[in-house]
Amino acid sequence: MIPRASHTIAFSLVCACMGAASVGYAQGRSGPMSVNACGILTAAELEAALGKKVRSQPVPASTPATLGVSVCSWATADGLKTLSVATHGPEAVKRTVTRDLPTYYESLKTSNANLGRRPAIVFPGIARRACYFVNPGGRGDVILVLRQDCVVTITAAGLTREEAQKVAAAAGK
């Protein structure tokens, strides 16, 4: 079962928190017919965006490999900056009430704005659309990117707005 927009946000937050606490080798979880989340952002792109070395983090074994969904986690060596990247492809989205990528992106945008009680910070010129939601507590900021092939949801901790914009640009390529 594909999670609805509000559950996707919670799922991403859980992945980010669990991935941040562990150290390990590259791994991701990808369901059939998904866009590989570990291929959306490379270590080199993240290092350029964050100005620090990064390494992949293990994805918790409890993370489901759902049809059309893929998850990958990254962190800086000091653990102060973490990212959980999830892709939701057409196969995943067509099983939701939104049914298409642009509508799914807009539903996530609305859910994040409502949950955070703040409007999106729009990043113009990135992919089809991209935006950013700052969590006032500094943990669990959300970057959304609408690409031609999927919606990318990045839950990040410890990033500045400028770093978030660079990450969104790399994810939207």
Contacts of 149 (CB under 8 A, 6+ apart): 35, 89, 90
CB 24 within 8 A of CB 149: no
Q: What are the structural domain ranges in the chain?
A: 5-171
CB 150 within 8 A of CB 91: no
Per the DSSP assignment, residues forming a β-bridge with 122 are 131
Q: What is the pLDDT of residues 95-134, one digit of tens each?
A: 888 889 999 999 999 999 998 888 999 999 999 999 999 9
Helix, strand, or coil (residue 130): strand
Q: What is the pLDDT of residue 27?
A: 56
- Mean pLDDT is lowest, of 3-17, 38-52, 70-84, 147-161, for 3-17
Q: What is the pLDDT of residues 155-167, one digit of tens each?
A: 999 999 999 999 9
Quote the CA–CA distance of 172 and 129 in Å, as a whole number.
9
Residue among 112, 143, 8, 133 nearest 70 (CA): 8
In the CATH hierarchy, which fold is given to the domain comprising 5-171? Protein Transport Mog1p; Chain A (3.40.1000)
Quote the CA–CA distance of 158 and 76 in Å, as a whole number.
10
